[in-house]
Amino acid sequence: MQANAERPNGNSIEFQGQSWKGSPPVQLDAIYHQGQNSLRVRTNGADSIATVEGVQFQTGTIEMDVSAPQRSHPTLALFVDESGMNYDRITLNPWPQFNDQLPRRLRQGVVTTGVHQSVVVNFNHGNSVDWARERWFHVRLEVDEGICRIYIDDDARPAFLFATSDQAKSGGGVGIVSSSVFIRNLKICPLKQQAAKTPFGNSVSTRSIAGQIQ
């Protein structure tokens, strides 16, 4: 069975009505994965990135179904600027943590470097065995008034929240960076840009907000 894709050439593809583009060594393929038409994104370099063309997102909602192959940690790129070099990263870690397997141990939290930041979100903790390999999970990001909330599998409670960085004011691209991932049903719903502010009405540091909900 073939996925619903047109114009694949390795570095650009049409999938589910959206145009994706990546620079080498990015590979983009439409395949049938775990019973679903899927876009496979393979970004094999530390800064290699694939983005959705024609998107300007700073506030609103992004949601998609994600499957992580071979212990990959899917990493989203938000607020990508026109150069494709500046953006924030959100790394999703669905794998349980074990003390004897160091490569799978990620420290949850927010690291800020200049105007950019990297966010790691751990979930599915506490399991003694892995969940079904490459199982699909649903991710929803809600960005509003300077705060990003991340929901997994339509949970009523966010898995993580953090204050957006200064990069959110200068870039609006969305993509996948430095990870291998299967995705489908991507929906990007931007809202009219609003002045960034916290839920409390005052400016606060990222460190003071990030991870209040665990």
**Tens of pLDDT along 28-40?**
999 999 889 999 9
Low-confidence ranges of the chain (pLDDT < 70): 1-10, 96-107, 114, 124-133, 192-214
Q: How far apart are CA 37 and CA 31, in angstroms?
A: 6
Note whether 66 and 183 are within 8 A (CB): yes
pTM: 0.78
If phi > 0 it is left, if psi is from -120 to 50 it is alpha, else beta; for residue 42 that is: beta
Q: CA torsion angle for 108, 144, 47, 53 (degrees, to 10)?
A: 150
Where in the chain are the domains?
5-209
Eight-class DSSP state of 97 = P
5-209 placed in CATH 2.60.120.560: yes
- The overall average pLDDT reported for the chain is 79
**Tens of pLDDT along 94-119?**
776 554 454 555 567 787 776 778 88
Note whether 15 and 32 are within 8 A (CB): no
